[in-house]
Structure 1
Amino acid sequence: MTLLRLEEVTRTVNLIDAPPLTILSGVNLVVSVGDRISIVGRSGSGKSTLLNMLGLLDTPTTGEMFFDDKPVQSLSANARDRARGRDIGFIFQQFNLLQGRTALENVMTPLLYADGRQFWQRSKIAMEMLERVGLASRATAMPDKLSGGEQQRVAIARSLVRGPRLILADEPTGALDLETGASVMQLLDEVATASGAALVTITHDPAIAELASTHFRLDHGLLTPSGVAVEAVPA
């Protein structure tokens, strides 16, 4: 089942006193249920713009983009927001945890925008997710009392607590040491597999990219298939 489809998508921004800048050029990509996709690119290659597009934070300048077979350009901003909150989970390099909130409160945050059982049982659901990532004993800890690996696991729990069908991981191990990064990626894959979610990892690290089953290279806004033997590129 196809979740997301991009067909000849471009993204261009207008500049003052300069020609328009094309950031993405003719991008074609299909993300289906259970996919494990890696996208490798240098700084300035368009990774952030592509991530925003995949996460329904932005829309194409030209081309077609479909989410659940619905054209994204035809959805209102509110409809995109609802789909993003319900079906898409984001994991970032810098964790983006709320300071002054416990691990449990951080994981509960997305459930504040849910309805029905997810809202009324948000504490129980969040605790169950912390248990899945091995941090139930750290539920009351503040972010500054957690190690880097623990903070990333809290971020993973938060991104998955609403049961998203698509997980977007932006340099998810960039702030971690090699061993911790490998364990975090293994955990992310296990949890995503258990929930049946598709996982798209955007990274500059070839070791992380090789963990996926389908590989792409983004270079100057062009997305092309890539083998697993990708060379290291600057972040």
Structure 2
Amino acid sequence: MSLLQLGRVTRAVRLPDDTILPILHDVRLTVNAGERVSIVGRSGSGKSTLLNILGLLDTPTSGELLFDGTDVSQLSQRRRDRLRGDNVGFVFQQFNLLDGRTALENVVMPLMYATGREFWMRNRIAAEMLERVGLGHRINSMPSSLSGGEQQRVAIARALVRRPRLILADEPTGALDLETGHTVMALMDEIVREDGAALVTITHDPAIAERGDRHYRLEKGVLYSDARAVTETTPEVGA
């Protein structure tokens, strides 16, 4: 069974003048556990909207969104939030670290919502994750004292500390130099491979997209099944 499945998903918003603005059109996508999927798209293509739907932050206007076989549209907001917190990790371009917290305190944050062993052992679990991304010696450092690559590794540790089944990386190397960016992606690939999680990377960088097992391009709200075939007019059909 697929981990995440979008079937004929559309998303539209109502503007202040009461007109409807369509953003996503008939998006069909299947993501399996252990798979790396890359989606390339320019600004304004609908990337942020698609990311919000994939991450269970938003629901489609129409179509089907299944997570591990569960129809997300049938869940209450509370159950959807719990499903996201337990299963989805986000890695953002701008890191979004809390300036007044140490690296350890930033990584601990998702564990504050855990229960049982995860909650009571949260500092140890966070420290082990920082060690895993090569920052065991920086657990007490503030973000302002870390390099860009180190900050991104803290962000990765925070995203993975609850062992999510789905990792969404939104322009994860956009704020990094080329060498550091590829190092960060290699680290993410390694952790995903070890944990058997699915990784969806949304980027404008074809070189980063090429690291995926499957490649897509989002063009004016339509998802194409091959990032290199951007001139084709046939959208992804989930085959």
Deviations 1:162-205 (A, max 9, x none): 00000000000000000000000000110111111000000000
Q: Which runs of 5+ in 1 are unaligned?
A: 231-235
Q: Distance in 1 between matches of 2:193 and 2:162?
A: 15
Q: What is the TM-score when the length of structure 2 is the normalising length?
A: 0.94
8 Å contact 2:39–2:227 — kept in the other structure?
no
Give 1:208 deviation, angstroms: 0.1
Task: Give, in whole Å, the separation in 2 of the partners of 1:120 and 1:163.
Answer: 16
For residues 101-180 of structure 1, the aligned pairs below 5 Å read 101-180=101-180
Root mean square deviation of aligned Cα: 1.3
- Determine helix, strand or coil for the equivalent of 2:19: strand
**Partner Cα distance (2:104, 2:228) in 1:** 37
Question: Hey, which bits of structure 1, 4+ residues long, moved more than 4 A?
Answer: 227-230
Amino acid aligned to 1:102:
T
| 1:226 CA drift (Å) | 1.1
Q: Please state whether the residue corresponding to 1:30 is helix, strand or coil.
A: strand
Q: In the alignment, is residue 27 of structure 1 matched against residue 27 of structure 2?
A: yes
- Return the TM-score normalized by structure 1: 0.96
Distance in 2 separating the partners of 1:100 and 1:14:
38
**Bigger Cα displacement from structure 2, 59-68 vs 47-56:** 59-68
**What are the within-5 Å matches in structure 2 for residues 223-234 of structure 1?**
223-227=223-227
Q: Summarize the alignment of residues 31-70 of structure 1 with structure 2, pairs less than 5 Å apart.
A: 31-70=31-70
Aligned residue for 1:215, secondary structure, equals strand
Deviation at 1:131, TM superposition (A): 0.6
Count how many residue pairs are aligned between Structure 1 and Structure 2.
231
Q: Which amino acid aligns with 1:23?
A: I
Alpha-carbon distance between aligned partners in 2 of 1:45 and 1:30, rounded to the nearest angstrom: 20
**Secondary structure in 1 matching 2:23:** strand
In structure 2, runs of 5+ residues without a counterpart are 231-239
2:38–2:209 CA contact under 8 A, matched in 1: yes
The one-letter code sitting in structure 2 at the alignment partner of 1:178 is L
In structure 1, how many angstroms separate the alpha carbons of the residues matched to 2:135 and 2:67? 33
Provide, for residues 139-164 of structure 1, a one-character-per-residue CA deviation record: whole Å limited to 9, x for no partner: 00000000000000000000000000
Q: Distance in 1 between matches of 2:109 and 2:24?
A: 32
CA distance in 2, matches of 1:73, 1:227: 29
Correspondence 1:79 to 2:79? yes
C-alpha distance in 1, partners of 2:162/2:100? 22
Q: Distance in 2 between matches of 1:62 and 1:229?
A: 26
Q: Which secondary structure does the structure 2 equivalent of 1:5 belong to?
A: strand
Q: Percent identity?
A: 67
8 Å contact 1:209–1:228 — kept in the other structure? no
